[in-house]
């Protein structure tokens, strides 16, 4: 029986580009608007505003000007904004990630998003904007939330490993701010306002037969679905939109499971680069305790959280970009780790080294 060719070389990350949302805003500005919005809620708003100061976030970038969120956005207008802004941000990131000479050679496009709906899916616009190969296999991925960025790269790695001539474009965009329901005066929604931001990223992954310099190689990944945890995170779809669901139990699940999962995938390697999804300060604390990490280990994730907030699936790709661009970057083994709805963990082992041979 004929077997599909599998290259002896691991798939490589050729490029990575990130795109901020168009409207930067400080954490203090958001806190001021949210405090006014939640006036009259059934909890102490003044006391609860401390969550903004303690979130480890100093600024974010949003899809719309801040005032627009508090003017009342119905489902139709939300999705119209989502399609326009998400499409532009993805094309911007992809234009910088895919050199013109490679655009006609893209074989697969994996598009990750859990914060909006687009049919046809968002990569159709990117294909037209950049002149990508019209016969590229399209793979939209929805519902993985914060774990989606790692999962998208892992899917691309598996595709590139099974087809050594593959050139896989990963697109990831989350506009979590557009899901704000101003009529939801719950403490859960209040906390969400202190955390979430918007962003996009694009990455190009090559099979073993594709030549070219690379940022690093992509090794094996792991997925772990935890039993009886579906209620911890996700969307609760209401008539007016999507209500965010995230449980205070989440840091505990991370704390109890991260060490075993990382040890399994590291397989004895000393990890130099911890590419962590910073879901919030409590998640970073859980990683610190479970993995015995130093402040230096946590710095890329913590600084990304401070500059952008929690951008769901996109955040871990911003962390990876920050690591690769750091002036003192040193090549070495890395591990991407994120937790998301399911409740699930996604991990991917990488070997990072700018200019890795092709």
How far is C-alpha 248 from the geometric centre of its chain's CA atoms? 21
Torsion sign, CA atoms 36, 40, 42, 44: positive
Catalytic residue among 113, 146, 172, 193: 146
Query: Is 172 noted as a catalytic residue in this protein?
Result: no
Structure tokens given for 62: 């949003």
Structure tokens given for 237: 């779809």
Question: Could you give the CA distance from residue 283 to residue 57 in angstroms, rounded to a whole number?
Answer: 13
Which residues are CB-neighbours of 99 under 8 A, at least 6 positions away? 15
Residue 202: name the closest of 169, 176, 233 by CA: 169
Residue 19: name the closest of 79, 88, 83 by CA: 88
Q: Tokens 């209500």 map to which residue?
A: 243
Question: What angle in degrees, to the nearest 10, is found between the helix axes of 250-266 and 281-291?
Answer: 40
> Which positions are catalytic?
146
């Amino acid at each position: 029986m004929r077997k599909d060719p599998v290259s002896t070389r691991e798939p490589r990350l050729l490029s990575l580009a990130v795109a901020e949302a168009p409207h930067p805003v400080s954490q203090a500005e958001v806190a001021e608007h949210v405090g006014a919005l939640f006036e009259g809620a059934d909890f102490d708003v003044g006391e609860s505003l401390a969550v903004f100061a303690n979130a480890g976030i100093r600024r974010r970038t949003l899809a719309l000007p801040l005032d627009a969120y508090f003017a009342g956005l119905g489902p139709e207008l939300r999705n119209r904004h989502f399609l326009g802004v998400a499409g532009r941000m993805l094309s911007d990131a992809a234009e910088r990630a895919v050199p013109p000479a490679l655009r006609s050679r893209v074989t697969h496009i994996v598009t990750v998003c859990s914060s909006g709906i687009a049919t046809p899916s968002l990569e159709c616009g990117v294909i037209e904007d950049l002149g990508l190969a019209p016969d590229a296999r399209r793979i939209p991925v929805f519902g993985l939330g914060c774990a989606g960025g790692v999962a998208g790269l892992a899917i691309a790695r598996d595709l590139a490993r099974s087809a050594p001539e593959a050139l896989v474009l990963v697109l990831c965009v989350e506009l979590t701010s557009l899901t704000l329901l101003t009529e939801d005066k719950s403490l859960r929604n209040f906390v969400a306002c202190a955390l979430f931001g918007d962003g996009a990223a694009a990455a190009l992954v090559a099979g073993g037969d594709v030549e070219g310099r690379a940022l690093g190689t992509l090794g094996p990944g792991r997925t772990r679905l935890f039993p009886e945890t579906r209620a911890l995170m996700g969307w609760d779809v209401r008539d007016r939109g999507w209500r965010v669901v995230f449980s205070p139990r989440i840091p505990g699940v991370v704390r109890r499971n991260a060490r075993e999962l990382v040890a399994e995938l590291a397989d004895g390697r000393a990890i130099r680069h911890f590419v962590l999804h910073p879901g919030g300060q409590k998640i970073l604390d859980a990683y610190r305790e479970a993995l015995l990490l130093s402040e230096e280990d946590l710095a890329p994730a913590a600084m990304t959280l401070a500059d952008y907030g929690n951008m769901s699936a996109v955040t871990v790709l911003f962390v990876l970009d920050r690591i690769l661009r750091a002036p003192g970057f040193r090549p070495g083994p890395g591990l991407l780790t994120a937790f998301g709805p399911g409740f699930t963990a996604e991990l991917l082992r990488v070997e990072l080294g700018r200019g890795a041979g092709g």
